[in-house]
Amino acid sequence: MESFLLSGLFGCIVISVCCLNIYELLRYIWNKLPNMQVMPRVRVLIVVAAIFISHIANIWVFGAVYYFFSQYGIGELVAASELEDQVHHLPDLVSCIYYSGVVYTTLGLGDMIPTGALRMITNVESLTGFILIGWTVSFTYLAMVKFWELPHKRK
């Protein structure tokens, strides 16, 4: 029970970090875009590139949490094939980041399975990714409406 409370606390902290990351980036970009001396369509590309970088940073943050938890025995990520053999290997940081990307994007391949308190972090991450991806999609739409110059609307 203690490990689930710890993972819930970590989950709240990580959600806050990820939301602030996206919020601050979007706020910064929205304030800078009108003054950029580039073509309007390039502004939209800047928005998309910044959003990609921000989501990748969030995936890395969750990956670091998975790695930290697995190193301290709070939970494990186990390859699905290892469940049958009852052999558990501690995942490396790259595996944790890969798993984080699968969960954040709600892809859910099933090749790695969380155990212990990592199950709670996995739930939190999938919800966080789903909401933040939706948020950035709507922001991209707003940027396109404002900055994407359509041929039939030229002045």
Name, in order, each residue with C-beta under 8 angstroms of 30's C-beta and a sequence gap of 6 or more. Answer: 139, 143
pLDDT digits (tens, 9 = 90+) for 47-57: 999 999 999 99
13-27, 76-90, 124-138 — which is least confidently predicted? Answer: 76-90
pLDDT at 91: 81
Q: Predicted confidence band at 72 (pLDDT cuts at 50, 70, 90)? A: confident
Q: Predicted confidence band at 133 (pLDDT cuts at 50, 70, 90)? A: very high
pLDDT at 127: 94
Going by C-alpha positions, the residue among 103, 110, 93, 98 that lies closest to residue 124 is 103
Going by C-alpha positions, the residue among 25, 23, 24, 77 that lies closest to residue 46 is 25
Confidence check: pLDDT of 8 > 70: yes
Going by C-alpha positions, the residue among 56, 58, 57, 63 that lies closest to residue 99 is 63
Confidence check: pLDDT of 153 > 80: no
Q: Considering the chain, what is the average pLDDT of its residues?
A: 87
pLDDT digits (tens, 9 = 90+) for 22-33: 999 999 999 998
Q: Predicted confidence band at 77 (pLDDT cuts at 50, 70, 90)? A: confident
Mean pLDDT across 135-154: 80
pLDDT digits (tens, 9 = 90+) for 86-130: 555 668 899 999 999 999 999 988 888 898 889 999 999 999 999
Confidence check: pLDDT of 82 > 70: no
